[in-house]
Amino acid sequence: MALRRLLLIAAALAAATAPAAAFYLPGLAPVNFCEAGKEKPECKSGIELFVNRLDSVESVLPYEYTAFDFCQAEGKKRPSENLGQVLFGERIEPSPYRFTFNKKETCKSVCTKTYDTTKPEDKQKLDFLKKSMLLNYQHHWIVDNMPVTWCYDVEDGQRFCNPGFPIGCYITEDGRPKDACVINSEFHEKDTFYIFNHVDIKIYYHVVENEALGARLVAAKLEPKSYKHTHPDNPDCSGVPMDISNKASGEVKIAYTYSVTFHEEKNIRWASRWDYILESMPHTHIQWFSIMNSLVIVLFLSGMVAMIMLRTLHKDIARYNQMDSTEDAQEEFGWKLVHGDIFRPPRKGMLLSVFLGSGTQILIMTFVTLFFACLGFLSPANRGALMTCAVVLWVLLGTPAGYVAARFYKSFGGEKWKTNVLLTSFLCPGIVFADFFIMNLILWGEGSSAAIPFGTLVAILALWFCISVPLTFIGAYFGFKKNAIEHPVRTNQIPRQIPEQSFYTKPLPGIIMGGILPFGCIFIQLFFILNSIWSHQMYYMFGFLFLVFIILVITCSEATILLCYFHLCAEDYHWQWRSFLTSGFTAVYFLIYAIHYFFSKLQITGTASTILYFGYTMIMVLIFFLFTGTIGFFACFWFVTKIYSVVKVD
């Protein structure tokens, strides 16, 4: 597991002396805590609790903690977020909950909120709170850069640790408990909301071997509870739960309290403190066998394809090269016949070259991001790092995009180089940005925390226009400056007529068939990725994902080469667009799977959430289309160049 490797590295570093802190991965240096009165420069007693945005599996719209009328931290500075956190809608803020290491607190009051339902402003706040409970919105709290989890038993004796806990829950008009209301039999009043206004927090720590350094926190768990505090100024955390009737009128008082206890945990080291969360994730254990099974099948198919191709091609080349007489030459058949047309420029060569440029940019970006993720630099502990890394890489990879687009456009005989470089810079990124901007407008309208602030939008545009576009122009300059790609055979002046094709060698059936095999090797990982995006589960299996990425590249290449060979044998030489679309069609299967996932796995409600789901899915589908299509084209280009360079042509 990549994350475990990372944390072992961090553990080894943690054992080093203080000056070695320079070697820690960003944001992953351990913090030492000690009891009040024993503080030192390397050891502090105060523990801060931070709050993140609240989200729900029933809505795509996350909200900031301050959007709700909870207890606020007065005058505390908000920690700065990186680009990835802002793009993912994370909004980390200080909270009024503060603890002192190893100091037990029981039923400590935080604040009391009073709502007068006759006042429109108070009624609006209370209604927003009710709506969020109805949609099962979840708090996400952070202590020492680690999620505060709510652990509970699920089926088969498994224990699931959720890195969030609900605001409250609802009992329907027919008395059916929704979501978290099943945990307490006292939640039984019909058409009533129960708010979790008290939390029992348990913080686990591990004493460092060198005791002079103090202790490190290894887990933070809580249990949400509901109490109707009769004396909010002097709460005792007992009695009936805090209920808010849906038809409540008059004054409603909600007192927020907490208890905290500290427990020494000798078995969990700081280096492996995330393991208990990751190991409890649903489906993690079930899917290992499925993933391995998928990899074995794909590798077996790849081996079969490679063997058939090599054997058949070897015989073809040997046969063609043994033909000495003109009589034999007249009886030529198969792919050698189209040697005079194989490198004929495709229709819409401009668009194809632009797609290839953007696809190359995405391909390199994906490879480098996954490589860093495998090394552990982009773990869940390093918040927003994955997205930041991807965006920065995309911006810096403008040069290869411009170079590839210009090189192929020139080889297709194109002369409008200015149009080519402008389209490479603006077409695909422009479509993605336009979709993203429309989604952002919807989020703004809904007041969601996922709405990108105006300043960040300007920063993204500045990265695009001031860094990516100039780099694309530089790449295009070098691409056009180089001589056109030399082909192993000359192109005839008069195009050869393509004979009548059978059903399976026609373009559409081949393209539809070509996407099945690559999709087959990714759909299990796709389930995990969609879960991490829409069901707010952590994704950490980057080692497997990198392996699946490599297998996807191999499968796309081999499926495209195989179909390309069949079409050349049928004397159809229009391979350029077909090779791009054959593996690019995997994106259509991705879209179909995303639609199936939406209706079968998600409980998303509301028009805005549905539009957002499909809007963001379309961005992913376009990126995946360019990525897989480019792999297919390059594989086919290499294959065609290779076979026509080894066969003798008169």
pLDDT 10s digits, 518-573: 898 888 888 888 988 888 877 777 887 888 898 899 889 988 998 998 888 888 88
Residue 81 is predicted with a pLDDT of 84
State the Cα angle at 495 between 491 and 355, rounded to 5°.
70
Which of residues 326 and 107 earns the better pLDDT score?
Answer: 107
Write out the H or E segment, with its range, that includes residue 311.
helix 284-322
Which of residues 462 and 645 earns the better pLDDT score?
Answer: 462
Q: Which residues are CB-neighbours of 459 under 8 A, at least 6 positions away?
A: 83
Question: Are the C-beta atoms of residues 481 and 421 closer than 8 Å to each other?
Answer: no
Residue 294 is predicted with a pLDDT of 67
pLDDT band at residue 165, thresholds of 50, 70 and 90? very high
Over residues 57-89, the pLDDT tens digits come to 999 999 999 999 999 988 778 888 888 888 888
Point out which residues pair with 115 in neighbouring strands: 252
Question: Are the C-beta atoms of residues 616 and 450 closer than 8 Å to each other?
Answer: no
Q: Where does 131-237 show beta strands of DSSP type E?
A: 138-139, 141-143, 146-147, 150-153, 159-162, 165-166, 168-171, 192-195, 198-207, 215-225
Residue 611 is predicted with a pLDDT of 94
Rounded to whole angstroms, the Cα distance separating 507 from 291 reads 32
565: closest CA among 552, 578, 555, 581? 578
Q: Which of 94-108, 113-127, 163-177, 504-518 shows the lowest mean pLDDT across its residues?
A: 504-518
- Average pLDDT value for residue range 633-638: 96
Residue 256 is predicted with a pLDDT of 95
pLDDT band at residue 332, thresholds of 50, 70 and 90? low
Rounded to whole angstroms, the Cα distance separating 375 from 538 reads 17
3-state secondary structure of 179: helix
Q: Where are the alpha helices (DSSP H) in 412-453?
A: 417-446
Rounded to whole angstroms, the Cα distance separating 180 from 170 reads 8
Over residues 572-604, the pLDDT tens digits come to 889 999 999 999 999 999 999 999 999 998 988
Rounded to whole angstroms, the Cα distance separating 103 from 106 reads 10
Residue 159 is predicted with a pLDDT of 82
Q: Which of 110-119, 194-203, 238-247, 273-282 shows the lowest mean pLDDT across its residues?
A: 273-282
Residue 381 is predicted with a pLDDT of 74
- Token pair of 141 as six digits: 């709290």
- Token pair of 527 as six digits: 């389930």
pLDDT surpasses 80 at 324: no
For residues 199-216, one letter each, b for 16 or more C-beta atoms within 10 angstroms of the residue's C-beta and e for the rest, the string is: bbbbbbbbebeeeebbbb
Amino acid at 642: K
Question: Are the C-beta atoms of residues 425 and 468 closer than 8 Å to each other?
Answer: yes
Rounded to whole angstroms, the Cα distance separating 579 from 507 reads 10
Instruction: Sheet with 215-225: list strands edge to edge.
Output: 105-116, 251-264, 198-207, 215-225
Question: Are the C-beta atoms of residues 164 and 154 closer than 8 Å to each other?
Answer: no
With both helix axes pointing from N to C terminus, report the angle between 454-463 and 385-396 in degrees, rounded to the nearest 10. Answer: 40
> How many helices (H) and strands (E) in the chain?
18, 17
Rounded to whole angstroms, the Cα distance separating 177 from 194 reads 10
Question: Are the C-beta atoms of residues 424 and 405 closer than 8 Å to each other?
Answer: yes
Distance of CA 143 to the CA centre of its chain: 24
Which of residues 323 and 448 earns the better pLDDT score?
Answer: 448
Residue 426 is predicted with a pLDDT of 96
Q: Which of 301-305, 346-350, 363-367 shows the lowest mean pLDDT across its residues?
A: 301-305
Rounded to whole angstroms, the Cα distance separating 538 from 366 reads 19
Question: Are the C-beta atoms of residues 397 and 428 closer than 8 Å to each other?
Answer: no
Amino acid at 584: G
Q: What percent of the chain has pLDDT over 70?
A: 91
Over residues 97-129, the pLDDT tens digits come to 989 999 999 999 999 999 998 999 999 999 999
Rounded to whole angstroms, the Cα distance separating 515 from 509 reads 11
End-to-end Cα separation, the chain, in angstroms: 56
Q: Which residues are CB-neighbours of 299 under 8 A, at least 6 positions away?
A: 551
pLDDT surpasses 50 at 24: no
- Residue 346, classified by CB atoms within 10 Å of its CB into exposed (0-12), middle (13-18) or buried (19+), is middle
- Average pLDDT value for residue range 261-282: 84
- Residue 273, classified by CB atoms within 10 Å of its CB into exposed (0-12), middle (13-18) or buried (19+), is buried
Task: List % helix, strand, coil for the chain (3-state, nearest 5).
Answer: 55, 15, 30
Residue 171 is predicted with a pLDDT of 94
C-alpha separations of 443 from 62, 86, 365, 609, 623 in Å: 9, 13, 27, 9, 22
Q: Tell me the range of 271-275, 307-311, 590-594 where mean pLDDT is highest.
A: 590-594
Rounded to whole angstroms, the Cα distance separating 196 from 198 reads 6
- Average pLDDT value for residue range 424-436: 96
Over residues 141-153, the pLDDT tens digits come to 999 999 999 998 8
111: closest CA among 70, 53, 51? 70
Q: What Rg do the C-alpha atoms of the chain give, in angstroms? A: 30
464: closest CA among 512, 387, 396? 396
Question: Are the C-beta atoms of residues 628 and 518 closer than 8 Å to each other?
Answer: yes
Which of residues 283 and 366 earns the better pLDDT score?
Answer: 366
Question: Are the C-beta atoms of residues 2 and 373 closer than 8 Å to each other?
Answer: yes
Residue bearing tokens 């007992």: 238
Residue 285 is predicted with a pLDDT of 52
- Token pair of 90 as six digits: 């994370």
Residue 53 is predicted with a pLDDT of 93
3-state secondary structure of 599: helix
Question: Are the C-beta atoms of residues 428 and 358 closer than 8 Å to each other?
Answer: yes
Q: Which of 178-182, 288-292, 375-379 shows the lowest mean pLDDT across its residues?
A: 288-292
Q: What percent of the chain has pLDDT over 90?
A: 53
Over residues 227-236, the pLDDT tens digits come to 998 888 888 8
pLDDT surpasses 90 at 38: no
Rounded to whole angstroms, the Cα distance separating 139 from 549 reads 34
Rounded to whole angstroms, the Cα distance separating 113 from 126 reads 10
